[in-house]
């Protein structure tokens, strides 16, 4: 009697296990079909949304580092554009000693046009590199390193970089010269600031 009872229970247990496995499989397939497609574009658009926001705490920055030379000959400059300001500073030395600065006002409509121009040019289409691949110390020693950022207050939402060295494209995928020109044109007197340094 015990044996026949056990023989009846085993098929029922096996059927229950198969049903549970089938339900789990269906749930997994449904999640991958419906939910991942909804979430994926949102994660792709996070940087675009951050770039095109025009709140007072928002901003974009381009930093250009010159060749790796002695401290007294090392030069760099940055241009930061925000809804209320446009600033360009040229630096001497690795400790970023300002040698020339130009500060200008801005307005939200002008800033909006600028960041949408950057977005249309693929400003943040690249993906940040990880680990050693994202370490820019000493790279492109005889050329220029370009860093492009989207800012929220003083924090960088995303940073991408590229260089003038052929084999060091970095994480920035847009056309470097075009984006640099857009930034430079935000400062009408940018050539005067650049004349103070050797880049």
**Each residue's pLDDT tens digit, 44-55:** 467 888 999 999
Residue 106 confidence (pLDDT) above 90: yes
Indicate if 156 and 172 belong to the same structural domain. Answer: yes
- CA distance linking residue 20 with residue 18, whole number of Å: 6
The answer to the question of residue 183 being in a domain is: yes
The confidence score (pLDDT) of residue 38 equals 42
Residue 100 confidence (pLDDT) above 90: yes
Residue 98 confidence (pLDDT) above 80: yes
Domain span holding position 19: 1-44
- CA distance linking residue 56 with residue 83, whole number of Å: 6
Confidence band, pLDDT 50/70/90 cuts, at residue 4: low
Say whether 98 sits in a helix, a strand or coil: strand
Indicate if 6 and 65 belong to the same structural domain. Answer: no
> What are the DSSP E strand ranges found in 11-133?
58-65, 75-81, 85-92, 97-105
Q: CB–CB of 127/45 below 8 Å?
A: no
Per-residue buried b or exposed e for 110-128, using 16+ beta carbons within 10 Å of the residue's own CB: ebeebbeebbeeebbebee
Indicate if 93 and 171 belong to the same structural domain. Answer: yes
Indicate if 70 and 13 belong to the same structural domain. Answer: no
Residue 41 confidence (pLDDT) above 50: no
The answer to the question of residue 156 being in a domain is: yes
């Amino acid at each position: 009697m015990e044996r026949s009872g056990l023989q009846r229970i085993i098929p029922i247990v096996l059927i229950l296990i198969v049903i549970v496995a089938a339900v789990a499989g269906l749930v997994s397939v449904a999640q991958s079909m419906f939910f991942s497609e909804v979430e994926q574009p949102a994660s792709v658009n996070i940087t675009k949304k951050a770039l095109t926001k025009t709140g007072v705490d928002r901003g974009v920055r381009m930093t250009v580092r010159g060749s790796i030379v002695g401290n007294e000959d090392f030069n760099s400059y940055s241009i930061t554009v925000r809804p209320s300001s446009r600033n360009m500073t040229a630096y001497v030395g690795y400790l970023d000693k300002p040698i020339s600065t130009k500060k200008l006002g801005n307005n939200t409509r002008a800033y909006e046009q600028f960041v949408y121009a950057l977005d249309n040019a693929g400003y943040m289409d690249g993906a940040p590199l990880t680990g050693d691949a994202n370490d820019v110390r000493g790279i492109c020693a005889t050329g220029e390193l370009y860093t492009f950022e989207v800012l929220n207050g003083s924090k960088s939402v995303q940073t991408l970089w590229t260089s003038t060295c052929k084999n060091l494209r970095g994480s920035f995928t847009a056309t470097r010269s075009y984006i640099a020109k857009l930034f430079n044109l935000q400062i009408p007197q940018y050539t005067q600031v650049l004349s103070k340094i050797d880049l």
